[in-house]
Amino acid sequence: MIKLCYIDDIVIPNVFKTIESRNNKLYITVDVGGASPTSYNNIIILQDGYYNGFSFAEEITKKSKIFTEYIHEMRADLIF
């Protein structure tokens, strides 16, 4: 008796993380005004993962709010 087996279809996912350790940082420079103006260089680290346009915007907004709250706690006069 001959038994035959063959593969008629194969699916290889083509999905890669949108954000991972090589591209998860946003570099921001904040200029603080006042009597002695100062510049602060900051890095915001995004969570590694798979993002579409909406979820990516949500992640950036979430991290930006945390950063903005920190700036407000410093009571800094920001220059844009």
- Domain holding 47, by residue range, is 25-79
How many Å from the N-terminal Cα to the C-terminal Cα in the chain? 80
Distance CA 76, CA 30 (A): 10
Beta bridge partners of 18: none
Residue 5, domain member (yes or no): no
Q: What is the pLDDT of residue 76?
A: 58
In a domain, 13, yes or no: no
The pTM of this model reads 0.59
Residue 4 is assigned to a structural domain of this protein: no
More confident of the two residues 13 and 47: 47
78 pLDDT above the threshold of 60: no
- The pLDDT assigned to 12 comes to 72
Q: Would 19 be classed as within a structural domain? A: no
Answer whether residue 72 is part of any domain: yes
pLDDT tens string 12-46: 767 778 899 999 999 988 777 766 777 878 888 99
- Whether 44 maps to a domain, the answer reads yes
Whether residue 31 is contained in a domain is answered as yes
Number of domains the chain contains: 1
If pLDDT is split at 50, 70 and 90, which confidence band does 47 have?
very high
